[in-house]
Amino acid sequence: MTSVATHCPYCSLQCGVTMRIQAAPRPPLLEPDDFPTNRGGLCAKGWSAAELLDHPDRLTTPLVRDNGELRPSTWDEALDRVTAAIKTAQARYGPESVGCFGGGGLTNEKAYQFGKFARVALRTPYIDYNGRFCMSSAATAGNRAFGVDRGLPFPLADIAGAQTVLLVGSNPADTMPPAMQYFDTGRANGAAHIVVDPRYTATAKGSTLHLQPTPGTDLALANGLLHIAIREGYVDQAYVDTRTSGFAAVRAAVAAYWPDRVERMTGVPVAHLRRAVELLGTARSAMILTARGAEQHRNGTDTTQAWINLALALGLPGRPYSGFGTVTGQGNGQGGREHGQKADQLPGYRRIDDPAARAHVAAVWGIDPDDLPGPGVSAVELLDRCGRPDGVRVLLVLASNVVVSAPDRNRVRERLGALDLLVVSDFFLSETAALADVVFPTAQWAEEDGTMTNLEGRVLRRRRVLDPPPGVHDDLTLMSLLAERLGHSFSADPRTVFDELRRASAGGIADYAGISYERVDAEQGVFWPCPSDDHPGTPHLFADGFPTPDGRARFIRVDHTEPAETPDREFPYVLTTGRVMQQYQSGNQTRRARSLHASATDPKVELHPDLARRLGIDAADLVELRTRRGRAVFRALITNTIRPDTVFAPFHWGGEQSANALTDPALDPHSKMPAFKVCAVAITPIKEDR
Ligand SMILES: Nc1nc2c(c(=O)[nH]1)N[C@H]1C(S)=C(S)[C@@H](COP(=O)(O)OP(=O)(O)OC[C@H]3O[C@@H](n4cnc5c(=O)[nH]c(N)nc54)[C@H](O)[C@@H]3O)O[C@H]1N2
Ligand SMILES: Nc1nc2c(c(=O)[nH]1)N[C@H]1C(S)=C(S)[C@@H](COP(=O)(O)OP(=O)(O)OC[C@H]3O[C@@H](n4cnc5c(=O)[nH]c(N)nc54)[C@H](O)[C@@H]3O)O[C@H]1N2
Ligand code: SF4
Ligand SMILES: [Mo]
């Protein structure tokens, strides 16, 4: 039996697994490894991952649409159809009529190559990706405040050493279960954990203090805590004076967030506010961590900044077992946001509007900097351009199921339906692929080589365990075949692409120049920045300064704003959305896993018993949710863990059960993050004939 060490295909924890290849039949056996993020742990999704390698639903040939129906085709026919459509659109409307939509699940090599493919082979500015729905607010805030966007500026294991941890809108007990061992160790050693969530989650259950705000009020909450911290004398003035700028304006702004007012705005009692500040202010070491609950709002960037302001005032970033961090989501959510699939970005986290960055990357790509397009538009804006007369006419989607995961599903379907050609690469026929004109079958995680960068900024190796099924190529091969037809030569070899990525990133903020496959193998991953072969990599950031022009972290004044939608007579409640433990993202993978099946058929909306009583809803009734965008049906899960004015629905399903038929596409002006975490909803029971 041969074994290969690799990583789980799903979230950013990138748990280490060993795959044992059996003679036959597929799939190989999967066992957890003692990797620094999971230490032998795995969640149910990880355990089930190998089941999908030989799943009967796998796509094994390209599909093309004829007379309204998708039918199997050869690779040549499908590639020719795509190339012809691209050339027609380019001739008729110019290069800007072709768009690319990527994903944070792509390896670094594929994400890098997709960015290059858009700019060099297609010469279009229009590329963005699903990480816009995920990390964009945290990224924008991190860049603004610290001059760099690395989710955790310290290794995950440091969490166990922090005396106080404040988690805002983050539910790792369900979304990254093996990471809980670090929280649990801290708690066992006497650490105080504070969880800010409108639901009393599995993560909140083991905490010292649970703050339960109304969704969308975290900014006011953070400003309120800073107000108290200033009053109580917890500000680290020496740190503020020597390591930061901009405190005076923030101090003046938070003067208006006195505790009674913040209680009225957020629903969190004054006593809880005071207790939270005391736990943070008196700790020897403290961390503030945000995730999607704080960030997926119309004011997500400013909300993240408000928590950064609090962390800076307490003097946390750069101190041992302390700091501010954000918990990255997708498997390659970190690396996928560094190497050019963002609309305004070139590899190495360079800006596409920076002349020096353009010159550097153009030289690596062997083109004239003037031939590089400028910045494009964000994911929701890109989807909105689709099918418009002067917009994007041909869209290529790699590793995203936007019909399920983008906000305001009905509008997304309408826009995709108006395209001249929609092209999707996937290994299963996702809801998005089902609408495509051409579908390419692709390799799964265990069938390809590459690198991923996990939530810590640790670059690690995805290793090929077995060949893809006959007739299936990976995405690098797809891009290489398309590029060839468009007159360009693109490598399909991951190592060759990674070596080019290293050169393209050299000197950038996310510098991978010194990271090689060999080093990653020998060192259990390498943390970026790592500018040279003899550089040790950087597990801890900010110990001696911040990569801003003046070396100081920036306080920025931020003020509470109402969500785009607040409850009214017609839509009287707040809807928030998120995840359940057994399903991953749009569910295109996990809904097919046999061992997760029990949870796969029946999405549930969480409602408080008081609300259920008022609306005449009994346990397990079907419930219709309705918003200004659409409707969806869920089964009622009546639980006193949620606020009585709020309901929570998971977004892992399509069709009638699609949470994103409901959500508000209002965007954060800085990050262009959609407001997934708050909109106004009406709720009606559907009484079935029993
Ligand atoms: N099981 C599972 N795990 C996953 C994923 C998955 O799909 N399934 N996806 C991965 C990815 S890509 C990501 S981004 C991460 C996300 O990981 P998390 O951020 O932990 O997940 P969410 O469920 O989106 O949101 C977290 C919490 O925010 C709360 N919340 C909702 N609105 C608000 C609000 O206004 N304020 C506050 N403070 N909290 C609020 C919700 O109640 C929820 O408990 O998970 C990763 N891991
Ligand atoms: N209402 C609501 N909506 C949300 C969120 C929320 O909290 N609430 N969260 C948002 C967040 S944080 C995220 S990250 C997004 C995720 O949204 P999606 O992008 O839809 O997430 P996935 O389901 O991971 O989609 C990946 C798709 O690509 C396929 N795939 C996986 N790996 C590869 C690969 O290497 N190559 C190719 N070609 N295909 C691959 C999978 O089968 C799947 O169909 O959803 C967002 N949408
Ligand atoms: S926590 Fe994330 S990486 Fe680990 S097994 Fe679960 S889904 Fe996979
Ligand atoms: Mo995400």
Question: 452 and 496: one domain?
Answer: yes
pLDDT averaged over every residue in the chain: 97
Among 299, 257, 297, 292, residue whose Cα is nearest residue 277: 257
- H-state helical runs in 506-654: 517-522, 597-600, 609-615
Among 655, 680, 688, 533, residue whose Cα is nearest residue 587: 655
Q: In the chain, how many domains are there?
A: 3
- Establish whether residue 199 lines the binding site of ligand 1, counting it when its CB lies within 6 angstroms of any ligand atom: yes
pLDDT tops 60 at residue 339: yes
Q: For residue 546, tell me if it sits in a domain.
A: no
Q: For residue 18, tell me if it sits in a domain.
A: no
Output the CA 688–ligand 4 centroid distance in Å: 35
Residue 418: CATH number of its domain: 3.40.50.740
Question: 300 and 361: one domain?
Answer: no
- Rounded to a whole number, what is the distance in angstroms from the first to the last CA of the chain? 53
Question: 149 and 128: one domain?
Answer: no
Question: 198 and 320: one domain?
Answer: yes
Lookup result for tokens 């990224």: 139
- The neighbour count for residue 284, using CB atoms within 10 Å, is 12
Residue 602: CATH number of its domain: 2.40.40.20
19-37 confidence digits (pLDDT tens): 998 877 668 999 999 999 9
Ligand 2 atom at minimum distance from 433 CA: 44
Question: Which helix or strand (DSSP H or E) is residue 619 part of?
Answer: none
Name the residue with the closest Cα to ligand 2, atom 25. Answer: 400
pLDDT given for residue 22 in this prediction: 81
Structure tokens at 113: 């190559």
Three-state DSSP class for residue 357? helix
pLDDT band at 597; cut points 50, 70, 90? confident
Q: Torsion-angle region of residue 79: left (phi > 0), alpha (psi -120 to 50) or beta? A: alpha
Q: For residue 271, tell me if it sits in a domain.
A: yes
Lookup result for tokens 């903020």: 509
pLDDT given for residue 605 in this prediction: 98
Boundary of a domain, candidates 499, 527, 555: 527
CA angle 245, 251, 254 (to 5 degrees): 135
Question: 301 and 439: one domain?
Answer: no
Question: 145 and 87: one domain?
Answer: no
Q: For residue 10, tell me if it sits in a domain.
A: no
Spatial CB neighbours of 242, under 8 Å, sequence gap ≥ 6: none
Question: 265 and 291: one domain?
Answer: yes
Region 52-62: mean pLDDT is 97
Of all residues in the chain, what percent carry a pLDDT higher than 70?
Answer: 99
Boundary of a domain, candidates 326, 353, 370: 326
- Establish whether residue 426 lines the binding site of ligand 2, counting it when its CB lies within 6 angstroms of any ligand atom: yes
Question: 294 and 362: one domain?
Answer: no
Between helices 259-266 and 270-281, what is the axis angle to 10°? 110
> What is the rounded CA–CA span in Å between residue 70 and residue 231?
65
> What is the rounded CA–CA span in Å between residue 530 and residue 525?
12
Q: For residue 549, tell me if it sits in a domain.
A: no
Q: For residue 40, tell me if it sits in a domain.
A: no
Boundaries of domain holding 344: 63-133+340-527
**Cα distances (Å, whole numbers) of residue 109 to 34, 104, 117, 495, 501:** 26, 12, 12, 8, 7
pLDDT given for residue 459 in this prediction: 98
Region 149-177: mean pLDDT is 98
> What is the rounded CA–CA span in Å between residue 534 and residue 66?
56
Ligand 3 atom at minimum distance from 37 CA: 4
**Cα distances (Å, whole numbers) of residue 463 to 46, 221, 448, 466:** 16, 44, 6, 9
Q: For residue 548, tell me if it sits in a domain.
A: no
Among 389, 510, 400, residue whose Cα is nearest residue 459: 510
pLDDT given for residue 332 in this prediction: 98
pLDDT tops 70 at residue 598: no
Query: Position 114: which residue type?
Result: F
Of the bound ligands, which one is closest to the alpha carbon of residue 658? 2
> What is the rounded CA–CA span in Å between residue 360 and residue 348?
11
Of all residues in the chain, what percent carry a pLDDT higher than 90?
Answer: 97
pLDDT tops 80 at residue 1: no
**Cα distances (Å, whole numbers) of residue 117 to 393, 514, 680:** 17, 24, 40
Q: Identify whether the C-beta of residue 669 lies closer than 8 Å to the C-beta of residue 413.
A: no
Of the bound ligands, which one is closest to the alpha carbon of residue 52? 2
**Cα distances (Å, whole numbers) of residue 299 to 561, 643, 654, 662:** 7, 21, 27, 19
Region 472-478: mean pLDDT is 98
Q: For residue 331, tell me if it sits in a domain.
A: no
Question: 500 and 365: one domain?
Answer: yes
Please tell me the pTM assigned to this model: 0.98
Ligand 3 atom at minimum distance from 42 CA: 5
344-390 confidence digits (pLDDT tens): 999 999 999 999 999 999 999 999 999 999 999 999 999 999 999 99
Binding-site residues, ligand 3, Cβ < 6 A: 8, 10-11, 13-15, 38, 42-43, 45-46, 176-178
Name the residue with the closest Cα to ligand 3, atom 4. Answer: 15
pLDDT tops 70 at residue 600: no
Question: 85 and 201: one domain?
Answer: no
> What is the rounded CA–CA span in Å between residue 63 and residue 57?
14
> What is the rounded CA–CA span in Å between residue 440 and residue 458?
31
Question: 294 and 413: one domain?
Answer: no
Boundary of a domain, candidates 473, 504, 527: 527
Residue 255: CATH number of its domain: 3.40.228.10
Question: 520 and 424: one domain?
Answer: yes
pLDDT tops 70 at residue 566: yes
